[in-house]
């Protein structure tokens, strides 16, 4: 049994990027923890204080319904301001992540890719890598997932492009992942939007073809220790 930590910026990122892999871990008997740093939603308003509190409650409830399907019992909200992580000192964000790593002591961490378009995703990535530095914690793997409508919308350069080099077969768990994603009624869109059930399934099919499997999730390796 391993302890697994998924650090995501917003509710739904974790399932979009690694939902099938999360289910695989649960099925193996691993202990999965999910840390959601940001609140979501409020960046859609001109000012954060103008946001409808009911939308935040609904998003959290949708997340909890998703977790029930994934069978994840350990999850945490930090309620950082949506798409405004850059207004918080980087040290403070890192210390939040570090606190949970110290509490959970995970063997594996999944988080965002450093090249994502979304600023919260990039800051989450940086905070995880700093917090999980090997002189502080013995984290065996740090893997970056791809988040549709962010990883794929970035300005691609050699420095920030997502290059998958670690794959997880989710042929047996994709349907459950998609069922869980349907709980995010305000976040999942209709095709051809990239964050549609159809598109997410197509991406899993594409990634599966990279490893001669029907469906897969792809990751970029930050660190693997054997």
Report all structural domains of the chain as residue ranges with CATH numbers, in order of start: 3-224 (3.40.50.10320)
**Mean pLDDT in residue range 13-29:** 98
Q: Is the pLDDT of residue 54 over 90?
A: no
The pLDDT score that the predictor gives to residue 46 is 65
CA distance 120 to 39: 11
**Mean pLDDT in residue range 187-194:** 90
With 0.85 as the threshold, say if the pTM is over it: yes
Q: Is the pLDDT of residue 41 over 80?
A: no
Q: Is the pLDDT of residue 80 over 80?
A: yes
What dihedral angle (degrees, nearest 10) is formed by the CA atoms of 88, 36, 188, 184?
A: -130
Mean pLDDT of the chain: 94
The pLDDT score that the predictor gives to residue 157 is 85
Tell me the pLDDT tens digit for each residue of 112-139.
999 999 999 999 999 999 999 999 999 9
């Amino acid at each position: 049994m391993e302890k697994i930590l998924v650090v995501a910026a917003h509710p739904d990122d974790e399932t979009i990027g690694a939902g099938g892999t999360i289910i695989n871990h649960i099925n193996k008997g691993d202990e999965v923890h999910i840390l959601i740093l940001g609140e979501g939603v409020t960046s859609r308003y001109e000012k954060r204080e103008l946001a409808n509190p009911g939308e935040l409650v609904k998003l959290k409830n949708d997340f909890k319904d998703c977790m029930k399907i994934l069978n994840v019992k350990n999850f945490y909200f930090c309620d950082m301001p949506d798409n405004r992580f850059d207004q918080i000192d980087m040290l403070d964000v890192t210390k939040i992540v570090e606190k949970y790593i110290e509490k959970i002591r995970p063997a594996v961490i999944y988080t965002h890719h450093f090249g994502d378009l979304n600023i919260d995703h990039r800051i989450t990535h940086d905070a995880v890598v700093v917090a999980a530095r090997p002189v502080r914690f013995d984290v065996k793997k740090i893997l970056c997932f791809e988040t549709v409508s962010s990883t794929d919308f970035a300005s691609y350069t050699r420095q920030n492009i997502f290059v998958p080099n670690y794959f997880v077969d989710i042929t047996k768990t994709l349907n459950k992942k998609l069922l869980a994603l349907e709980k995010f009624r305000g976040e999942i869109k209709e095709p051809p939007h990239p964050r549609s059930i159809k598109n997410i399934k197509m991406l899993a099919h594409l990634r599966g073809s990279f490893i001669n499997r029907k469906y897969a999730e792809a990751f970029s390796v930050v660190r693997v220790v054997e």
